[in-house]
Structure 1
Amino acid sequence: MSVSKLAQERLGDYILKYCLLFEINIFYFTFHTTELRSKHSTKYFLLCCFQTCFHALCRKFPPSVNYRKRFLTELIRRQETVDHAPLDELYDALADVVGAEEKSECYKSYLLPCGDTVSLLENVALISEGTTGLVTWEAALYLAEWALDHQQVFTGRTILELGSGVGFTGITICRSCSPKKFIFSDCHTTVLEKLRDNVQLNGLTEKMSPAVSVEELDWMTVTKEQIKEMEVNTVIAADVVYHPDIVESLVKLLSKILSGSAEGAPKILICSTIRNSETYSGFKQQLEAAGISHHVITGPVRKVFPYNRDSFIEMITLYK
């Protein structure tokens, strides 16, 4: 009895989506099929290897060396628990990464429901070069999931993203929600360089639809006139309320946005992982003091991207 094609496809999709590409915790990696403990389990482990380590996407955009080592070590342990006999292919794959040097950057790839992928070059360290903007944070994944559930909010609209970081949320919206134009923005020089690289890496340009641009936006100095010239319909931001020092400038910017459009105030969506309740409460208090009201929005329905769902994440819409 051979391994069924349908079973191979299901396992391959599962592995590709939930294991190597997203660098999730390897110890959550489980097989949900009794056939793995049958005489055909060797074929499944080989399939696993070819759907991850040897997959074309992983070869083109490899995850971190440390993650690949941990992934293959765990995969070998589980294979030998079931089969006992080692698989040369798994050890060959491990040998390729054991001697590899860990770099400060690595790729992370995310599968979209439409079948596309978003691949990003990110820093391995959460904080580097004086900024947190060189990695994808949970609120960006949450906001992207919400956008996939509410594509009509972005279709045909001009969108400004504040604090785009490495670009995950914006690239996902451009790939899935058909906006008219998307303006990525940040203020840190290194972040802007990485952001431009990732936008280009994912095939987005000013000359294509949607038209995209990457702009340096200083929250302290940008004027109402500059905001008005952007002609934005929608403004989004993820994980921008992370320190008390930036809250005042953020609220002033949001106030300018809400009062700077001749065609009516744009829709503003702010998504935050609440790590410090005092900082987040202070943000809401300053919004109120500036005459800005907010409404909490129900979170995404579909669970598309892997992140810690025990984190306290809240999304609000703003209005005057």
Structure 2
Amino acid sequence: MADQPAAEARHLAHHLRRQVLQMVPLHLLQFGVGETTADQSLDLLVTPQFQTWVYHHIILDPTVRRYPPAPAYLRGFLKAYLARVERVGNVGVDEDLLTYYLDLLATIPPTGGVPQEMCYKTYCLDNSTAGSPVSQDIPKAHAPRSITLKEGQLLITQGTTGLRTWEAALRLAEYVLYCTPNTATDPTNPRPLIEHGVLELGSGTGLVGLTCATLATTATARDVVLSDYHPDVLRLLEANATIHRTCHPASVPVRVVTLDWERFDQGAASAYSGYTVFGADLVYDPSIVPALVRVVATLTRAKCTVYLASTVRNEMTFGLFLATLGKFSADLQPWADGCRTWPQYADWVHQLFNSD
């Protein structure tokens, strides 16, 4: 039991780190984890050792230095954290942390509360510190990996919603994480989720496709194709694919392609025969539903398995999608959301579809 406080501190530290790297909204930041009480967490958070850890393993973390979250976000995080340290009263504030925080206050121009710049978010695939009862179910072979993405911070940037990661992409990437077997330890699995190749429709930032690329091996997947149509989104995808290649040099090949749903036909689909297809948050505008469903139907005829995840924002639009999709597919299977990997969206429930 003598090691329990140290173990709890490590657990809390890594939980805090993965939230900051992912830029979980400041009002949702959890300074406690699992069954640790608020008072216990505060006792751990304010120790000189923990403050030193925050400085060296969050502020000076190599990933943070190379692919930094928004400076305004780091300022907000440190403000919230140092307020907890000062609340105790009998513990001094780490000098390095305080200096860094004051430098941020002095150098970040006011923006009226509106985040303007692009930033980097790092999504840790290791769920061992998420405080979830199902966290131990993730294959250990996947634990150390992470995905870094360049993203916008606004809902709409340059006329598109594709420059930020949306909720359904987190859910779908999580599904891939849970359902991709470790074929080295589970050779009995007859059909890995990722085989032949992967095509992501409407990739946006590319989280789902790059999750597949991070988990796949050249023995199970030919390549991963990230697709979109908006030129700014395509440029962002190229940037994120480059980051992926830098961080995962042994990854399966990742390609970025322009895919126009209106012009997609059986000939185009033949290039992806047998691929696993993913799409997240594609059902948001009724005018694009017919084209989306045609693409899905065309891909299923090319022997693709298609997984779609969607946040239901408008019941009529989603109902139109289901009705249109039902005309093409007799095998429409809902997936009950039971995964809890990403710290930001623990309470979102989405619907996943699989057409074989």
* TM-score strictly above 0.5: yes
2:67 aligned to which of 39, 43, 61:
61
How many residue pairs match? The answer is 312
Kept in 2, the 8 Å contact 1:26–1:71? The answer is yes
Shift, 1:50, TM fit = 2.4
Distance 1:219 1:7, change over 3 A: same
Aligned to 1:139: 168
| Alpha-carbon distance in structure 1 between the residues aligned to 2:205 and 2:242 | 12
1:42 aligned to which of 33, 48, 53:
48
Which moves more between the two structures, 183-192 or 231-240? 231-240
1:118 aligned to which of 141, 147, 150:
147
Aligned to 2:140: none
Kept in 2, the 8 Å contact 1:119–1:202? The answer is yes
Aligned to 2:222: 180
User: Gaps spanning 5+ residues in structure 2: where?
Assistant: 110-114, 127-142, 182-191
Aligned to 2:208: 169
Shift, 1:170, TM fit = 0.9
1:95 aligned to which of 99, 102, 112:
102
Shift, 1:109, TM fit = 0.6
Aligned to 1:272: 310
Distance 1:225 1:314, change over 3 A: same
Kept in 1, the 8 Å contact 2:72–2:108? The answer is no
Matches within 5 A, 1:194-273: 194-203=236-245, 209-259=251-301, 261=302, 265-273=303-311
Letter in 1 for 2:208: T
| Alpha-carbon distance in structure 1 between the residues aligned to 2:175 and 2:44 | 40
Distance 1:167 1:35, change over 3 A: closer
| Alpha-carbon distance in structure 1 between the residues aligned to 2:40 and 2:308 | 44
Kept in 2, the 8 Å contact 1:23–1:108? The answer is yes
Shift, 1:26, TM fit = 3.1
TM-score, L = length of structure 1 = 0.88
Distance 1:79 1:258, change over 3 A: same
Kept in 1, the 8 Å contact 2:26–2:76? The answer is yes
Letter in 2 for 1:143: L
Kept in 2, the 8 Å contact 1:21–1:63? The answer is yes
Distance 1:226 1:40, change over 3 A: closer
1:287 aligned to which of 325, 329, 342:
325
| Alpha-carbon distance in structure 1 between the residues aligned to 2:332 and 2:95 | 58
Kept in 1, the 8 Å contact 2:266–2:298? The answer is yes
The yes-or-no answer on 1:150 pairing with 2:179 is yes
Which moves more between the two structures, 31-40 or 52-61? 31-40
Shift, 1:8, TM fit = 4.8
Distance 1:204 1:174, change over 3 A: farther
| Alpha-carbon distance in structure 2 between the residues aligned to 1:199 and 1:250 | 24
Please report the RMSD computed on the Cα atoms of aligned residues, expressed in angstroms: 2.6
Shift, 1:2, TM fit = 11
Identity of aligned residues (%): 26
Which moves more between the two structures, 276-285 or 25-34? 25-34
Shift, 1:272, TM fit = 0.5
Distance 1:309 1:104, change over 3 A: same
